[in-house]
């Protein structure tokens, strides 16, 4: 694990393998001025000659800079100072760090603006962790030590905690499904809870049956691996404060069941526990930061497979909250898992509930690869979440929840069916299904089928699990109940 230390040593005197320095295109920072003085304005000349424009995420490496003690100076653009934001800070720091991470470096010195420093530090931590967790020799390495030119220890510490929580989320998503399945995911959550400081209760298949979680069990019954449900409790505030409930879809592998997915669509389906990973990652960050808030996380963990015992099309399942559900497609399994978990959450009396799920391909069609769909029965809760997400720069967009969509999930045999009539509006009919299980509790559903995962690496983060909405949840938890 990288050690982050603040330092007051000047950019000219610091003895490091590499200096990373963030540059605005239109304004000098104190350290940029110092670099100019000590190097005959080398960087100024580069900028005047158009060799470095300091556009956001532009990275330029200068070896053996005369006038500096360090062996290399990595310039990274921050764009125009008026546009500087948490997202730009995170990506710029990440872009610089990721270009360096191919080598094992002992000591990196980091010179960035004080503004958004937390996000920049998180950006370094995230950029230096790859998805190649099972490669004999990893190609993305974390730095041993980072000296951060700042006196703000608290911001640096927070950035490190949040970055590690994002990586914890990504790591869970990136684990292959033969290694990470309901029992082992539950074990990981217990370990994370012990080290971060929150309680984890695990329901096994026997307890799930006695708790009448029959729609969750229906999905699980095709697998030899038994299901689990997690309840993770963090009490940072007194009993009179409201409790934020977080719910996560934890399908550790989604084959589609008898409505089998084609190979191409199945390959990435280890990511189908991305909602649970977001909830676990957020719990880790919130507990390590000791935020003054009460949060309970609930995750339903199952594997959706085919076998002689798997659930079938036409089956009718009696859900935990009493509604009967006719199965029209075994690949619409996430909503069945969430139905029971949401019921547990709302019956336990959480004041608000936000669920995260890689729920529908339709959400990808509607909003693309990087934007989450928001669906709610409570505009205030949705607005709170959306503004937290906007502040940290995570894309989301609210979708309609008008009664017409609810008509589509009526069944001829049971109370409801587990898909709409045809594929149109599939993300919304899925949300309408979930709404049946939250009673009057203010609820927000976040469909993260796009942002949970990326097939391709970006300049500031490797491909695979993206750790989405951990930062938003930290922001939301800070504001919650205020
Ligand atoms: N896990 C998938 C959704 C998904 C697709 C997530 C692509 C990430 C990337 C979900 O369980 C699913 O299969 N949904 C079906 C529902 C349909 C059968 C009503 C879908 O979206 O096709
Ligand atoms: Mn599915
Ligand atoms: Zn799924």
**Domain residue spans of the chain:** 3-151, 172-479
> Does the beta carbon of 241 sit less than 6 angstroms from any atom of ligand 1?
no
Find out whether 213 and 320 touch, Cβ atoms under 8 Å. Answer: yes
Determine if ligand 1 sits within 6 Å of the CB of residue 334: yes
DSSP β-bridge partners for residue 294: 235, 243
Give the tokens for residue 19. 């200096």
pTM: 0.98
Q: For ligand 1, say whether the CB of 331 is within 6 Å of any of its atoms.
A: yes
329 CA closest ligand 1 atom index: 18
What is the rounded CA–CA span in Å between residue 54 and residue 301? 45
Q: Percent of the chain at pLDDT above 70?
A: 100
446 Cα to the center of ligand 3, angstroms: 14
Q: Which residues surround ligand 2, an ion (CB under 5 A)?
A: 254, 331, 333
CATH number 3.40.220.10 is the correct assignment for the domain at 3-151: yes
Instruction: Please indicate whether the domains covering 3-151 and 172-479 agree at the CATH topology level.
Output: no
Task: Tell which atom from ligand 1 comes closest to the C-alpha of 333.
Answer: 11
DSSP code string of 342-360: HHHHHHTT-SEEEEEE---
| The listed CATH number (3.40.630.10, 1.20.1440.130, 3.40.50.720, 3.30.70.360) that belongs to domain 172-479 | 3.40.630.10
- Ligand 1, atom 22, lies closest to the CA of 361
426-462 tens-digit pLDDT: 999 999 999 999 999 999 999 999 999 999 999 999 9
452 lines ligand 1 (CB under 6 A): no
Distance 332 CA to ligand 1 centre (A): 6
Burial annotation 398-415 (CB, 10 A radius, 16+ → b, else e): ebebeeebbebbeeeebb
Taking the C-alpha atoms of residue 473 and residue 354, their distance in angstroms, rounded to an integer, is 10
Q: Is 272 in the pocket of ligand 1 (CB under 6 A)?
A: yes
Residues 284-327: pLDDT tens digits?
999 999 999 999 999 999 999 999 999 999 999 999 999 999 99
Q: Are 385 and 447 in contact (CB under 8 A)?
A: no
Average pLDDT value for residue range 55-74: 96
Q: Read off the pLDDT band of 408 (50, 70, 90).
A: very high
pLDDT at 482 > cutoff 90: no
């Amino acid at each position: 694990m990288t050690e982050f230390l603040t330092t007051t040593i000047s950019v000219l005197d610091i003895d490091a393998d590499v200096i990373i320095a963030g540059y605005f295109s239109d304004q000098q920072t104190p350290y940029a001025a110092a670099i100019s003085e000590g190097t005959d304005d080398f960087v100024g000349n580069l900028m005047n000659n158009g060799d470095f424009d300091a556009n956001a995420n532009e990275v330029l490496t200068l070896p053996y800079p005369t006038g500096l003690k360090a062996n290399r100076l990595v310039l990274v653009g921050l764009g125009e100072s008026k546009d500087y934001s948490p997202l730009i800070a995170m990506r710029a720091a990440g872009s610089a760090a990721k270009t360096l991470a191919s080598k094992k470096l002992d000591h990196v010195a980091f010179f960035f603006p004080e503004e958004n420093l937390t996000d920049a530090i998180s950006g370094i931590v995230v950029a230096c962790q790859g998805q190649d967790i099972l490669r004999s020799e990893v190609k993305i390495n974390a730095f041993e030590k980072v000296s951060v030119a700042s006196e703000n220890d608290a911001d640096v510490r927070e950035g490190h905690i949040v970055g590690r929580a994002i990586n914890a989320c990504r790591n869970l998503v990136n684990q292959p499904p033969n290694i990470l399945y309901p029992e082992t995911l539950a074990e990981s959550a217990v370990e994370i809870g012990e080290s971060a400081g929150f309680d984890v209760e695990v329901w096994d298949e026997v307890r799930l049956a006695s708790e009448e979680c029959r729609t969750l069990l229906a999905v699980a019954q095709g697998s030899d691996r038994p299901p689990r449900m997690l309840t993770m409790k963090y009490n940072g505030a007194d009993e009179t404060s409201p409790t934020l409930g977080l719910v996560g879809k934890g399908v550790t592998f989604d084959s589609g069941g008898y409505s089998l997915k084609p190979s191409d669509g199945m390959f990435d389906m280890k990511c189908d526990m991305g909602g649970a990973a977001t909830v676990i990652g957020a719990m880790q960050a919130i507990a390590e930061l000791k935020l003054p808030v009460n949060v309970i996380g609930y995750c339903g963990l199952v594997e959706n497979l085919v076998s002689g015992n798997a659930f079938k099309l036409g089956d009718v399942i009696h859900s935990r909250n009493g509604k009967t559900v006719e199965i029209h497609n075994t690949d619409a399994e996430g909503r069945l898992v969430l139905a029971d978990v949401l019921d547990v959450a709302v019956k336990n009396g959480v004041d608000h509930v936000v669920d995260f799920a890689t729920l529908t391909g339709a959400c990808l069609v509607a909003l693309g690869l990087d934007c989450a769909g928001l669906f709610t029965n409570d505009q205030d809760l949705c607005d709170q979440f959306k503004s937290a997400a906007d502040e940290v720069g995570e894309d989301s967009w609210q979708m309609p929840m008008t009664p017409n969509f609810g008509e589509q999930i009526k069944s001829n045999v049971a109370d409801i069916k587990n898909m709409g009539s045809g594929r149109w509006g599939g993300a919304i009919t899925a949300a309408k299904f979930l709404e049946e299980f939250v009673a009057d509790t203010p609820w927000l559903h976040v469909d993260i089928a796009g942002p949970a995962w990326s097939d391709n690496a970006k300049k500031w983060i490797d491909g695979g699990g993206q750790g989405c909405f951990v930062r938003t949840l930290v922001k939301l938890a800070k504001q919650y109940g205020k």
